[in-house]
A = this chain, B = another copy of it.
Amino acid sequence: MTARDKLSIMQIRIATRADVPAVLHLLADDDISRTRGFGIVAEEVDAAVWAAFEAIDADDRNELIVALDGDEVIGTCQLTFIPGLSRGGAERMLIEAVRIHTARRGQGLGGDLIRWTLDRARERGCAIAQLTTDKRRTDAHRFYAALGFEASHEGMKILL
């Protein structure tokens, strides 16, 4: 596949309600996420998940993003733009829940998706973008390092 072919199939935009089931399938289709209760995606999406989508959709500082090939959702991520007093008052972009369809990996689509989010952050005037990635996802660490991210921090989490 040439770069030109790749560009022609990839559309990246903010998700709509109609994209939510496909996004949930992408979030579920992941070995590590399966251990978080994502093993089965119910056909009927839970009311709390719809409420979360509505909350994201209504919030100028949260964006659910989808990458498409035609009508098919082949990638997703969520962006959160965080105001703060550091770095001269510039926003910080947090990237969460990055997924590329298993059948579409290794084609550079993930890199295109992340570069698109970084361009979006620059347009907003963000000073920094950040994400955390499970220490077991060594392929992901190389992927983000190649895009210019530095593994400068420990990512610490606590379940509540």
A residues bordering B, Cβ < 8 Å? 20, 23-24, 27, 33, 36-38, 46, 48-53, 55-56, 59, 61-62, 64, 78, 80, 82-94, 96-97, 118, 121-122, 126-135, 141, 144-145, 147-160
Contacts and interface: CB of A to CB of B under 8 A. Distances in A.
A86 B80 CA distance: 15
Contact of A157 (B23, B56, B90, B130): B130
A126 B48 CA distance: 12
Q: Is the interface of A mostly helix, strand, loop or mixed?
A: mixed
Contact of A132 (B23, B52, B59, B154): B154
24 contacts: A23-B85, A36-B86, A37-B88, A48-B89, A52-B85, A52-B90, A52-B91, A78-B84, A82-B94, A84-B97, A118-B160, A121-B160, A127-B160, A130-B132, A131-B156, A132-B132, A134-B152, A134-B153, A134-B154, A135-B152, A149-B156, A150-B157, A153-B157, A154-B155
